[in-house]
Amino acid sequence: MTTISGDASASETSDGIKYKPLQDTQIRLLSFLPPLAGEEEIQCSLESFTLDHPPPYIALSYTWGSQKETRKILVDGQAFEATTNLEAALMHFKVEQGFHFWVDAICINQKDDDEKKHQLRQMPIIFAKARETRVWLGREADNSDRAFNVIQSMSKLHAENSGRSNSRGSSDTVSSSETPDGGDLIALQCLLVRGYWFRVWVVQEIAVSKKVTLSCGECQIPWDSMLNAAEFMISNDRLRSIETAIRKSYQHQSLEVLRYRDKQENTLLDGMQRILSIQSVRNDKIMPYDPLERPPDSLLYLLSSHRPTQATEGRDKYFALSGLCLEDESILDQTSSINSLQDIYILAAESTTKEHGHSSLDFLDFAGWPTQIMDLPSWVPDWSYTRDRAVPLLYWQLAGQKHENMVVLNAPGPFSSSSKDSFLFCKDKSLLARGFEVDRINGVGFSRWLSKKDNPNNAEIRNPDKSPQYGLQKYIIGDEDLADVIWRTSVLNITHAGVQAPEEWGHLFYERPFCRTGLNLDHDLWYEQNENFKVYGSDLKTLAQTRRHLQLESPGRQDGVIKQETMSQLLNAFDVAKTYRRLATSEKGYICLAPSTTRCGDIIAVLFDCSVPVVLREKPEHFEFIGTCYVHGIMKGEAMGGLTSRDSVEFNLG
């Protein structure tokens, strides 16, 4: 252990603390002091140590909370205004006198931008070297103690079920005794939608830590218990029964509880997915790398899976996640001189092209509307946008799942990454990308999602003009049945597990999603809005009715009752696929699930270095990038037959 005393003059912050400048290899650590007689304020001191040989210390992971609400504490005898959440955390942990703590708000001079940038870069090392990371979720509230008890119970059930599966084979049957009651689930949801879980720095802080303990009020549990509970809840068909129980329980809650629920943007499922996403990164950091099992998470996957997280500054999301990426350790050096968030995200796009494990331009799968950065080029993903948007077509591929039947998309086929000169980032912030114009959109279904700049009329159905296939009522691209092509397109032809949608979904599709159930469900509305959209000359209503008449017996039925598990899987896939997308047809007869802002006349293109087709809109000086598109029949390179590189063109994306 080495203590350093800086000779440079100390700088005094507005709080009154006199910070001595840190050397490059130093950090400050906080120690709690015994309170003075009659004093209730927290008192602590700061010391500087080399990060190479620090004393044992605990790193604190928490949210700052509102900086308008503060409480005074004493640091080296000087007043420091701590946010109420930080003050509560310090009050909780001050009993551990004798230990050193690293607390960013106090240990970093927040008024020194150069120091902040340097310490920011050190954070993975700071948390990795800590003997333990303590997570402060906040004060006890909303039955958080009950939620902790539920977590511990489900963690035990997970261990027991895992033991049974290992000894007798897998068993996915869910008993009622294994599903928490509604009150337990509401308490758990309140805990898992707390702002802490949706803070981007949390990913880094937990992922690199040796040991993690979660605290809320007086309750605490190890990270592994939370992880086991999340895995237990999200497994197989247990999730749907949990969601049903939550909905029923809210029917009996007070108005105050209902108002709290309505203010929350996130759900219990969102919270559980945050736990699993963080653990995915943690696995990369604490487990030996085995390329045969699963590659480490790429920067593109990290940005994608943690897109829902929030950051005080837009650039922080990139800083926090790129700091975990194995491929590029010089990110912070590059970004230190960049002030524009637009330029940060252009750099992020460029950085992903240097990675292995995906095609260079696969970042385009995350670009397009909606966005909240008004001057962002259309081809650049807006990672600051955290609300709902279309699920990436490459979601399953980028997750690094490896199993025999996994769907692998490769629209460019033999042209994938065929040339180092197939794309170029230009100084005017445009992207030159080489590829093929495959087709043009000639019909679009109803769109529930449009940008504010769009004409409301663009949401309406636009049926195709008569074309060679008009009125044939027969799919001309291949040997598939037209009704099968429609339902497979409507679910992106993929399951939640990343394998091709099973045939039995086709039988169920025309019994529930593609009909009026009278239950006022979301897919009822979708069907009513699209039943007059014409495919090959016939509207969807007629095609669906014809298919239902042909289905005398459905493999999805048992004694006249639809298999609920299979139907749930189908409906979930349909809901995911259609969000921020609309049905579309092309001049050559392809059936597509296109971005919600797609219009007739838009181009369907396949770029050399992008694994999925894209929709482009021709402008006077450039092409506007609309989004990636599922086009049934060309997702694995089928449209590339007979083409040569001489047939390709260069698209200038602006």
Judge whether 648 and 436 are in contact, CB under 8 Å.
Answer: yes
Facing residues of 535 across strands? 538
Backbone angles phi, psi at 215, to 5 degrees: -125, 140
Report residue 251 as tokens. Answer: 């029917």
CA dihedral 551, 553, 555, 560 (to 10 degrees): 120
Cβ atoms within 10 Å of 24's Cβ, excluding its own: 8
Three-state DSSP state, 158: helix
| pLDDT score at 619 | 97
Q: How far is CA 74 from CA 29, 64, 103, 320, 504, in A?
A: 15, 18, 14, 30, 67
Q: How far apart are the first and last CA of the chain?
A: 54
Judge whether 49 and 4 are in contact, CB under 8 Å.
Answer: yes
Counting as low any pLDDT under 50, the low residues of the chain are 1-9, 14, 167-176, 250-263, 327-328, 554, 556-560
| pLDDT score at 260 | 41
* Rounded Cα–Cα distance for residues 187 and 181 (Å): 10
Three-state DSSP state, 410: coil
Cis preceding-peptide flag for 370 (omega within 30 of 0)? yes
* Rounded Cα–Cα distance for residues 355 and 471 (Å): 47
Judge whether 477 and 589 are in contact, CB under 8 Å.
Answer: yes
Identify which of 1, 2, 49, 13 has the alpha carbon closest to the alpha carbon of residue 28: 49
| pLDDT score at 405 | 84
Judge whether 119 and 19 are in contact, CB under 8 Å.
Answer: no
Which DSSP letter does residue 414 get?
Answer: G
**DSSP assignments along 11-63, one per residue:** EE-TTS-EEPPPPTTEEEEEEE-PPPTT--S-EEEEEEEETTSPPSEEEEE--
Q: Is 417 left (phi over 0), alpha (psi -120 to 50) or beta?
A: left
Report residue 97 as tokens. Answer: 């006198």
| pLDDT score at 364 | 98
Report residue 178 as tokens. Answer: 């294994």
| pLDDT score at 316 | 84
* Rounded Cα–Cα distance for residues 293 and 400 (Å): 9
Judge whether 410 and 637 are in contact, CB under 8 Å.
Answer: yes
For the chain, the structural domain boundaries read 11-136, 140-198+223-280, 480-578
Burial of 176 (C-beta count, 10 Å sphere; 0-12/13-18/19+): exposed
The pTM (predicted TM-score) of the whole model is: 0.86
Q: How far is CA 567 from CA 423, 507, 513, 525, 546, in A?
A: 43, 10, 10, 18, 21
* Rounded Cα–Cα distance for residues 336 and 617 (Å): 35
